[in-house]
């Protein structure tokens, strides 16, 4: 009986450790996080590990991102960073956000899918009803992807 229990425990452990899993966490209303501001002094303070952007949506002031990455053994941290220009230029450039991902050196290969939500109301311009912005991230292939979006308010 003891050998059967040990064999079942080993089998269950191998099954869990060797299976690719997809994890989906729903965005809860009111769970909209603040973005981080980066400038030339602190630009490298957040990691830029690879990530795949699956979907982008706006709900009220929240930019909702569906992201996918390899992992499963360690906690990952995702931040949205507003990149501040070194000096003000005219005309003003579109605000640029970068998705910053810290995998904490997670070497596991489970495919993780999570939703993240960030309040971008700080880029609203007085007297306007919309603001164009750029969203950039580093794909798992190593390529930097940059796309333009319109935030309507």
pLDDT tens digits, one per residue of 48-72: 999 999 999 999 999 999 999 999 9
Tell me which residues of the chain have a pLDDT lower than 50: 1-29
CA distance 72 to 74: 6
Query: What is the CATH class of 21-152?
Result: mainly beta
Q: What pTM does this model have?
A: 0.76
Domain spans, the chain: 21-152
């Amino acid at each position: 009986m003891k050998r059967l229990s040990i064999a079942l425990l080993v089998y269950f452990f191998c099954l869990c450790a060797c299976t690719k899993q997809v994890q989906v966490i729903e965005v809860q209303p009111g769970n909209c996080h603040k973005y981080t501001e980066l400038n030339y002094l602190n630009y490298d303070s957040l990691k830029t590990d690879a990530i795949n952007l699956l979907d982008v949506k706006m709900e009220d002031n929240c930019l909702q991102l569906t992201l996918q990455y390899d992992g499963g053994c360690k906690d990952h941290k995702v931040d949205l960073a507003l990149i501040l220009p070194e000096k003000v230029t005219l005309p003003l450039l579109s605000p640029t956000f970068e998705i910053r991902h810290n995998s904490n050196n997670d070497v596991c290969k489970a495919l993780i899918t999570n939703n993240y939500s960030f309040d971008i109301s700080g880029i609203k311009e007085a007297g306007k009803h919309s603001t164009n912005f750029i969203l950039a991230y580093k794909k798992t292939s190593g390529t930097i992807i940059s796309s333009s979006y319109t935030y309507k308010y």
